Amino acid sequence: MEKRNNIVVIGGTACGPKAAARARRCDPQAQITVVEQGEDLSTATCGLPYYVSGVIDSQSDLVARRHDFFRGVMNMQVLTRTKAVAIDRKAHKVEIFSLETNRVSDIGYDKLILATGGIPVVPDLEERHLQGVFTLTKVKDANALRNLLSPPESRKAVIIGAGLIGLEMAEAFTSQGLEVTVVEALDWVLPTLLDSEVAAYIEKHLRRKGINLLLGQHVIGFEGDKNGWVRKVITEDTEVETSLVLLALGTRPNTSLAQNAELTLGSTGGIVVNQYLQTSDPDIYAGGDCVENVNRISQQKMLAPLGSTANKHGRVIGTNVTGGCETFAGVLGTAIAKVFDYNVARVGLSELQAREAGYDVVTSLVPSYDHAIYYPNGKEILVKLVAEKSNNRLLGGQVVGPGETAKRIDVLATALTFGAVVDDLANLDLAYAPPYSSAMDPLHNAANVIRNKQSGYAKALTPMEVKNKLENGEDFVFLDVRSPGEWETCRIEATQVRLLPLRELRAKLDELPKDREIVTFCQTSVRAYQAQRILNGAGFESIEFMDGSIAAWPYETSG
């Protein structure tokens, strides 16, 4: 009788169940065991912020597959409330500990799959053990928060970390009536995902929603009351009163089991795997949040703690542990999140990441609407593209705003996957009808701005570069070419600003100094670019327009 393939999976959240299910479909005779420390398999932890807010009402809604599916339909042994303690690679055994019976036993394997996920990053502060200090990686964390908020025991919350979970939870807490402060050590929100000028666009929205942002501030301690409940968060610059703290500093790979088994770990802290998702031991595979990935643009190693990546890993692993030969090419860092009324999406390299990786880049910053401007209920989006200057290869993009961003970021992800250049994006045959898009999609416009810059027609400064010039008191003309009505409604207050509507520009060229720098701006940069070309044609030499213009200006305005 032919020996059955004995597959053991450690970890039951995303990658593990996917690998197990794929392995079963590929090999109906395999013996498959799933070991999970928690009570459930296939828990949608990405939905935890929406469970805390009440958008998702029931804990059961977060469980994608029940035990009986894996046991009955998939014919697997499922060991929940069971912890994997150690791996004996030589004997091909895993030592496990039952949290219910306190018994230790061994499981043999032919192929072992590590899907141990990540563990929350917590600050090295003695007071982090105060009551009321939470992380959010498991359903039990979300239940603890829900129990605290309903009935409401807390009116103030501090979130430490302005990443995706931190901002999603800012909305969740606000929806429950809490006063929310977000503390971030770096200088802008979503610092590993967005460039600063795009993040500033989000920050403006967050402040309008009542979120107190403390950026560029490190937390140095907590202070509790006599009952041991957190009451203050202390930063280098200030103290914030609170009765609830959420640590949203991200996760790090859970690699203790792999490390103790002397599997190779990478510079990112994740388990090293090859293109087949094998570890340094060919009989042990690993995937999900515990492994490091290859960035498909820079080819550098990176972590990608996302359920989407974990599920892709699981399919590859399930194929390969049953005799297949499937590869995983890497990730683009694609991400999307809902931040109050804004949709925040990104893919590839940010401008900062691209420059740090050694690329010489050209960018565009284009405000637009998500469908034809004349069709009712259009919503704003802001698109930033990053391309390699020498060959116009697309490197990344960011799309944010209340409008439709998901389809744009997915188009960019597809383009990046196939190595597209800016010209390819500019000429993509995208679907067009007024309810869905404009005749020239915002992605087309963003690509064409880069083409204009590369051809020498367009010269631009970012809003932040212009802001620095204004604050430094530089001698230049900041030329607003909008209409007087637009000026009255919304304007930038600075001594360098001058209003000269585009329709009057040609008639009043002699009123402008040819020996001074002129930076043009309008609402979305279309008229500003036209003004730049008019001035260039009239012999003005030091002319730029402000990328994104008023729509991308994240600072205060008057009117």
* Phi, psi at 474, each rounded to 5°: -65, 150
Rounded distance between C-alpha atoms, residue 311 and residue 328, angstroms:
12
SS (H, E, C) 481-525: CCCHHHHHHCECCCCCEEECCHHHHHHHHHHCCCCCEEEEECCCC
Q: Which two tokens stand for residue 72?
A: 């009955």
User: How many CB atoms within 10 Å of residue 324?
Assistant: 15
Q: Specify burial of residue 401 (Cβ count, 10 A radius: 0-12, 13-18, 19+).
A: buried
The answer to whether residue 46 is catalytic is: yes
**Radius of gyration, alpha carbons of the chain:** 27
User: How many CB atoms within 10 Å of residue 189?
Assistant: 28
Residue that is written with structure tokens 């045959």 in the block = 429
Rounded distance between C-alpha atoms, residue 263 and residue 281, angstroms:
7
Beta bridge partners of 362: 387
The closest of 541, 544, 514 to 532, measured between CA atoms, is 544
Active-site residue, from 46, 325, 490, 522: 46
Q: Which two tokens stand for residue 119?
A: 């563990």
User: How many CB atoms within 10 Å of residue 402?
Assistant: 15
Rounded distance between C-alpha atoms, residue 471 and residue 312, angstroms:
48
DSSP 447: H
Which residues are part of the catalytic machinery?
A: 46
